Chains A and B, each alone.
Chain A
Amino acid sequence: DGGITQSPKYLFRKEGQNVTLSCEQNLNHDAMYWYRQDPGQGLRLIYYSQIVNDFQKGDIAEGYSVSREKKESFPLTVTSAQKNPTAFYLCASSVDPRLVTDTQYFGPGTRLTVL
C-alpha cells in the first residue's frame, strides 16, 4: 500500500531534550511538509521540502530543524529551543507544490508530550 507513515504515534520526552519525529512516504512524491496542530488552531506549517537536499522554513520554524537526505524521508527534530513543543504533528507529501491543484496526502500524526 502506498502512503505516509509517521512514528511513533505517541511520544513523551522530558523538557530540555531534543526529539526526532519520523516521516516516511512511498508515494514517490517530491514535496514533503511538517505541520503542527494545537487546540483551537488550524494546521500551521513548520517546514517544507520541494526536493531532496532542499527545504524552506514555514510559518513557525523556530525551535525546529529538518533534513531531506532521501526522497522518501523527512524527519523533524524538535529542539530544546522550542518553547511549547507539546502538540500534534502531521507530516504530508505532494507531487508538486508549484501546481495550484497540488493535493497533499497526510500521515496519521505523532502526538508529542513534553513533561
Chain B
Amino acid sequence: ILNVEQSPQSLHVQEGDSTNFTCSFPSSNFYALHWYRWETAKSPEALFVMTLNGDEKKKGRISATLNTKEGYSYLYIKGSQPEDSATYLCAQKGFQKLVFGTGTRLLVSP
C-alpha cells in the first residue's frame, strides 16, 4: 500500500518570499511522481510528472526535484506571488492509479 506524505500541511509567506515543501513516498517499486496545483474554487491542474532519480522540472517560478532512492520530492517557488496561493498535491503512480498526499496549502500575502 502506497503512503504519500506532504509537509508542511500549510504555509503562509509574504509576497516575494521563496518557499519549498516536501513530498515523501515509498522508494520501492517507484514509477512516477506527479505534482498538481489546486486553486480555490477551481479544478486541480497538473504541474509536473517526474520519473527519473535526479529529475528536475521547471515551470516559470516553480520547480521540482526528485530523489527516488530516498523517496522524496521538493517543490520550490521562487519569489512567491499572491496568485501562487493554492494547495499543492503530490501523487505517486501506483498500478493504474495515483495515490495522493494530503497536500500543502500555501497562502501568499501581498
Contacts and interface: CB of A to CB of B under 8 A. Distances in A.
A82 B78 CA distance: 44
A104 B46 contact: yes
B43 A107 contact: yes
Given A4-B43, A45-B97, A101-B32, A40 B102 contact: yes
Interface string B8-41: 0000000000000000000000011010000000
Given A48-B97, A97-B96, A101-B49, A42 B103 contact: yes
Interface residues of B, number: 22
Interface residues of A, number: 25
B108 interface: no
B100 A43 contact: yes
Contacts, number: 52
Interface of B, helix, strand, loop or mixed by DSSP: loop
Most buried by B among A4, A42, A50, A100: A42
Interface in B55-108: 89, 91, 93, 96-103
Nearest to B101: A42
Interface of A: 4, 33, 35, 40-45, 48, 50, 58, 90, 97-98, 100-109
Given A42-B99, A43-B91, A50-B96, 4 more contacts: A44-B100, A48-B96, A104-B34, A109-B43
9 contacts: A4-B43, A42-B102, A45-B99, A50-B96, A58-B97, A105-B43, A105-B46, A106-B44, A108-B43
